[in-house]
Each structure stands twice: as C-alpha cells, then as structure tokens.
C-alpha cells in the first residue's frame, strides 16, 4: 500500500512539471510562450556568464524593472526584437519558488546573401540594436574596397543600417 501511495505521489508531481522546451529564433524575431495560470514570476538565466540571473516579471513586486520588449498579454509571454542578450534559460516560477516550466532560447544571426549586377547600387535597411551592428562584406576579389556602411540612431534606440556597394569608376 505504501509503494502504491508513493507511485501515486510521483505521478502527480510529474503531471505538474512541464517537459523542457528549446526554442531557436533569429535575431529581431518575437518569441511567444504560453504562461501557466499559477505562475508568479519569470526568471532569466543568461548564457553569457558575465551576467547574473534576473527576475524580469513579478506582478506582485513593483521593484522588478519593466522591460518594454517583454510583456504578458492574454496568457502569453512575448519577447520582441530578440538579440543574443536573450540567449539563456527561462524559468516560470510558482508558489514556494517551485519551477513550473523551463525552456531555453538560442538567438541566431540572420544571414543575407545579396548580389547585384555590375554598376548597380545595392541598398537595404535592417533593424539592429545598438552595440550589435555587425555587418560584413566579403568581396569576390581580394582588392575590392568599394564598401561603405553607416549606422543611424532612431528614437526607438535601434540602428538603421545601410550598405551601399557601388562600382568604382
């Protein structure tokens, strides 16, 4: 009888615990995760060891800073404009600091392979977060030095990048 009760308790505990999830999103995308109704807070443990873990959502504690990119609406957590700073482990915490759900997030770079015909100008705009403006140009010829790039700040604290590749005279 005791063994049966223990098995019943173990089964009940496993029903409450959600399986681990893993998300892979591209830079700039939005992650949407369903919140559990009994979740009291969300904890983020960054992959980058230079940063400590942080509670980023706790409605009962007004001292937790508000991040405009992270919000809960209609029972879903939404993180907008993902960057590599969002890489890490996320924990949904319930009563008595119990972890209800855990998931990992990996944010990958977006790659674009753009080509143009000789003499044509190539322009594109791409939203980048300040301090993460990594634009690389790999010419087909070693001596090709016709690349210019610039980043302009916006009120939304993003950068607008334009790459102008033009034929030299």
- Give tens-digit pLDDT for 84-118: 888 999 999 999 999 999 999 999 877 766 777 77
Distance in angstroms (rounded) separating the CA atoms of residues 93 and 101: 7
If you ran DSSP here, which 8-state letter would residue 84 be given? G
The answer to whether the beta carbons of residues 109 and 158 sit under 8 Å apart is no
Tell me what pLDDT residue 141 has: 64
Residue ranges of domains in the chain, CATH in brackets:
9-108 (2.60.40.10), 125-165 (no CATH)
**Residue 158 binned pLDDT confidence (cut-offs 50, 70, 90):** very low
Quote the pTM value.
Answer: 0.60
Q: Which of 130, 129, 125, 167 is nearest to 149 (CA)?
A: 125
| Averaged pLDDT for residues 137-152 | 54
To the nearest whole percent, how much of the chain has pLDDT over 90?
21
> Which sign, positive or negative, has the C-alpha torsion 58, 59, 61, 66?
positive
The per-residue pLDDT for range 9-35, each reduced to its tens digit, is 444 444 444 347 899 998 889 999 999
């Amino acid at each position: 009888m005791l063994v049966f009760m223990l098995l019943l308790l173990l089964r009940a505990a496993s029903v409450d615990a959600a399986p681990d999830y893993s998300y892979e999103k591209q830079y700039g995308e939005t992650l949407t995760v369903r919140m559990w109704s009994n979740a009291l807070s969300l904890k983020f443990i960054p992959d980058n060891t230079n940063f400590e873990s942080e509670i980023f959502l706790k409605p009962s504690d007004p001292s937790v800073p508000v991040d405009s990119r992270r919000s809960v609406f209609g029972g879903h957590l939404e993180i907008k404009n993902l960057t590599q700073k969002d890489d890490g482990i996320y924990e949904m915490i319930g009563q008595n600091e119990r972890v209800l759900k855990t998931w990992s997030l990996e944010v990958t770079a977006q790659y674009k392979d753009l080509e143009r015909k000789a003499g044509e100008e190539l322009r594109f705009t791409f939203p980048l977060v300040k301090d993460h403006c990594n634009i690389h140009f790999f010419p087909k010829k070693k001596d090709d030095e016709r690349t210019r790039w610039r980043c302009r700040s916006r009120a939304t604290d993003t950068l607008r990048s334009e790459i102008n590749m033009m034929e030299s005279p």
